[in-house]
Amino acid sequence: MKHLILILSILTLSFFAGNVDAGTGCSTCSSVESCSDSYTEKACPDNTCADTSHEHKAEQKTAVEAVDEPAHVNTAGLKTLIDSGVPIIILDARSGKYDDGKRIPGALSLNSESKPEEISKVLPNKEALVVTYCANLKCPASNLLYKHLKSLGYSNLIEYPEGIQGWIEAGNPVKQAK
């Protein structure tokens, strides 16, 4: 119960400390280069990027889809959650050429194309608290992994949309996995 209260407090603080605002999204990776740095280029599979503007999302959402959206945590909230000692599994959703090997310390690598058998080896407890992230606000990989895990019955999922770029820009440590 103590962990649940702490997690809810962190999510609430993250929300009120400032919602994540991606601004207007870019429609292709080549145009993203003008929006942000090279992390986005490396993270956009098939030369497509998600439009993450709040207006665009509001137009596309139905009530059912809104309920299925992940809880989000910002950089400060994730740092607080990690520092609190709450048992948490952090998953880097980048894959292949989009994965530069930089990780939030303790993060493991899984992506939305991971097979259920592979996932169950990394996440044997479907009730575990799991945070997914990818490159940055424009990267769709963390949301795709979130949806994949949810479809497999994992229930305590949080998305960190600012990704490794937001983590590094805030001056937080990274480890090199590759």
Asked if the structure places residue 59 within a domain, the reply is yes
Instruction: Quote the pTM value.
Output: 0.67
CB-CB contact of 114 with 124 (8 Å): no
Give me the half-sphere count of Cα atoms (radius 13 Å) on the Cβ side of residue 146: 20
CB-CB contact of 53 with 25 (8 Å): yes
Q: Is the pLDDT of residue 25 over 50?
A: no
Could you read off the pLDDT of 164-175 as tens digits, one per residue?
999 999 999 999
CB-CB contact of 20 with 137 (8 Å): yes
Could you read off the pLDDT of 71-113 as tens digits, one per residue?
999 999 999 999 999 999 999 999 988 899 999 999 999 999 9
Residue 107 maps to which CATH number? Answer: 3.40.250.10
Asked if the structure places residue 148 within a domain, the reply is yes
Measured from the Cβ of residue 64, the count of other Cβ atoms closer than 10 Å reads 7
Asked if the structure places residue 115 within a domain, the reply is yes
CB-CB contact of 70 with 143 (8 Å): yes
